[in-house]
Structure 1
């Protein structure tokens, strides 16, 4: 049996995320009698004051299992893949917690109207610390921190022959050619002329699946004409206006290859852009995603063009706005007394005291006013590299917003701020670390030099930042 166990592959050998998840703080378990007032003290000093009958369980229920994770240090926060961001605003943390409760095999929460008091230890008490809750973020596994609904921030803040052009929406500015609709159709007719062989291929009998039949029906309704055949590509135009390799998602493969060759020969486009509603945002260039369609109508006409669906950066903004709406509903569980955390001195030292009416991700933070903001990219050797920014002189950590090729991109970061780039990767069971001190916005990109480290060495270096 031991020999068999030795042959089991290590899931963390080449996966830095899996390695970090194992190295991050785990749950501590407490058993709470539902009918008694209880004070719990966790390993890193967190105190939970749980009143009697706080949990939403029947009176005859057994003990409630309360599970808690603590994240105070930079190593713990980085290894857990957490950050200090509320939408696109930068926070400074006084500590993060993850609370979970279960009883009789099911997840439970606090009773409506009940609250628990949370005391978080601190070496020094900073002003304007508030309770933030963690909301699920579709762009990342890490929570997006948001104020509860009843809180306020304490700091500032054409046609050609048989061809017809499919027109994209006018606003915002989607990728576009320096061509009129008529000129675009002339160019596409030159690149993909309608041949007898193409018509014969379209007339041949073939089996149409349910999904394709539904798609043709939708295309017919949307274009107010009966569509008998469609060639559709998923397309992406990046922030430089370059068309990335399209993917055929519908239609005959032979005609699709012909259309793909024509599509690749089209001139470059202007990149998509939109007016950002973020502070200091202005007009912002973005990668755009959509479809390129060639539609063959029963009338003999052919419709061709791009239909754009979303911009990556605009989607990120919309998700941030949506998280504000979601937290308005979710955060009514959380109630706060006053705007700031209450400073508290106990025998064990200084604490922040917060009152929460719900479980889940909880963060003690203050909002920072970073001034002008920029997009910052870090060249990483592979997409599997995890890249973070650790800010100097404050407990603020950001994970990259997205990757573009081999670049880790950070959006809306404070220009001119001093920070350290932390890059981690894992190869054949060995962890590699690279760090580089930077001033955000500097013209010369940092050169990341990776070196092998043990987990203890990694923690020690992260703690020194």
Structure 2
């Protein structure tokens, strides 16, 4: 059987001039008649041609940098000239005001009139400068205005009003001080992952925690004008799968008072030139939430923000969970970064730094990168997959990917004889953690990288028959049939990780998105707690992935309806005088609970560690 690996080796021998004259002639004849050879030859030429484009891209990039630099210098010069002219004009104005002779006061009535005029001018200036600063400034200005009104009546009233003004100001300052001391805790949201994507093609994004998003061509429109958006779009994604992240971000799992169990939360936003975008309703996106085990009844919810946080509302589109393996092959997998400069690993000035190589000297960074990458692949690759599909012998998948200018993995492509092995190789590459990006001439750049991934199959007890040798398309068809039969039998022990690994939905909205299912809740739960006022309080269940917000009353906290007699954690966070305090209490859901919380002062880092530890048994 002539495998894809043999074809690639044959092509490389021809390109490297390692064949004899007769072998070259045979190669050229095969190239005209053998479509598989011709297709592989063209792919290899495209792959090798990428190195030749690097110099041209660098020259274009340098020219663009020079243009931008000149543009900035010109802008700075103009801005400096405007500032200098402004300063000169201001000094001239000040000198003119300085030579004005104060009016001679002859009568009390004249004094009042002039004072009123000056105060009105001051009032106008004060409003201009402080209108957007603080409410306190506005209060003081209003009081000054009232002083002027009193002046216009009689002089003695001015002195009396001054006293009232001072007292009122002190009173306002006391109220402001009380507001600052009020316990308060701001949500700790995750930093979004940022992508610059091309809307002229179908796009698939694989996020850091495994979320897979697919957008159709021309699927974004302007939120205000409803017009189609073309070209590149700024896309931001926040992922919330861990209960600790959900709690700290002040998120919860409830829909109009009903308890939900989550399979993951997302926040997706899209902008172009600073303007918000939304999806064309006729071109929904595909959302894949990764899962460790299947849970029936998962559905798609959208988040609606209100004063109490986020309420999850059921999507009108029915969920479509993966219950059979159909290979997902989008037309294009493209993640284009802000700096669209690709510099190959072999020539880049500073290679990307794989986690664990940070302290290695620069001369050893390439070797460390390759060593860590091979170890990572070996630790995460499912080597049992080929044997479970009836594939025998050593199988190699060639994978190309890019470590982009943010250190993330993108543009994953694979070439091999079996579709499912290609998918497994891509899955493993997609798990690679974020690195320190590669640098060329002091700038972060995209670094393409290629690696062969070997599946070593134990063939000791396998007897090969003539009917077990398949060409590529026949083999894919056979293995697909095997998968279908095994999935229909519903034997979890025979299914590998990539076969059923996600909840899949069609979504028509951006913003907050949640994968949930409804859970039964048969008991109202109000817990009496001292010192709960001003705290953010959550009820985190241990056996189900659910988080409920607590509504703080005068001396109690209302959690609404909950399942009865199940283990949970009560987490309370408050902020007093700029200091953070955390209390954690284990309990079982029941009526009439009374708790005393032991708040401990902690840093933000300590709170995160404590919450992660407490919810790690989920």
TM-score using structure 2 length: 0.38
**Counterpart position of 1:130:** 299
**Counterpart position of 1:364:** 515
1:15 and 1:425 in contact (8 A); partners too: no
**Counterpart position of 2:207:** 42
**Counterpart position of 1:393:** 543
2:525 and 2:589 in contact (8 A); partners too: no
Aligned-partner Cα distance in 1 for 2:520–2:181: 32
Aligned-partner Cα distance in 2 for 1:17–1:360: 31
Aligned-partner Cα distance in 2 for 1:118–1:18: 38
Greater share of strand: 1
User: Residue deviations 1:240-275, cap 9 Å, x none?
Assistant: xxxxxxxxxxxxxxxxxxxxxxxxxxxxxxxxxxxx
Cα distance, 1:393–1:412 mapped onto 2, change above 3 Å = same
SS of the equivalent of 2:287 reads strand
Cα distance, 1:121–1:60 mapped onto 2, change above 3 Å = closer
Give 1:15 shift.
8.4
Residue among 219, 223, 235 paired with 1:66 = 235
Aligned-partner Cα distance in 2 for 1:74–1:364: 14
User: Residue deviations 1:350-397, cap 9 Å, x none?
Assistant: 222221122121100111122x22131341415211111001211100
SS of the equivalent of 1:52 reads coil
Give 1:70 shift.
1.0
Structure with the greater relative contact order (CA < 8 A, sep ≥ 6): 1 or 2? 1
**Counterpart position of 1:329:** none
Give 1:112 shift.
2.5
SS of the equivalent of 2:312 reads strand
Aligned-partner Cα distance in 1 for 2:287–2:519: 23
Cα distance, 1:391–1:46 mapped onto 2, change above 3 Å = same
Residue among 188, 209, 233 paired with 1:23 = 188
Aligned-partner Cα distance in 2 for 1:56–1:16: 44
SS of the equivalent of 1:56 reads strand
Structure 2 matches for 1:186-335, cutoff 5 A?
none
Give 1:398 shift.
0.5
Number of aligned residue pairs: 258
Residue among 583, 605, 611 paired with 1:434 = 583
1:419 and 1:438 in contact (8 A); partners too: yes
What is the alpha-carbon root mean square deviation over aligned residues?
Answer: 3.1
**Counterpart position of 1:148:** 315
Residue among 270, 279, 299 paired with 1:110 = 279
**Counterpart position of 1:120:** 289
User: Residue deviations 1:433-456, cap 9 Å, x none?
Assistant: 111111222544122111223333
Cα distance, 1:112–1:19 mapped onto 2, change above 3 Å = same
Structure whose alpha-carbon radius of gyration is higher: 2
Give 1:66 shift.
1.3
Q: Which runs of 5+ in 1 are unaligned?
A: 1-13, 155-343
Aligned: 1:458 with 2:607: yes
2:220 and 2:280 in contact (8 A); partners too: yes
**Counterpart position of 2:126:** none
SS of the equivalent of 2:585 reads strand
1:438 and 1:446 in contact (8 A); partners too: no
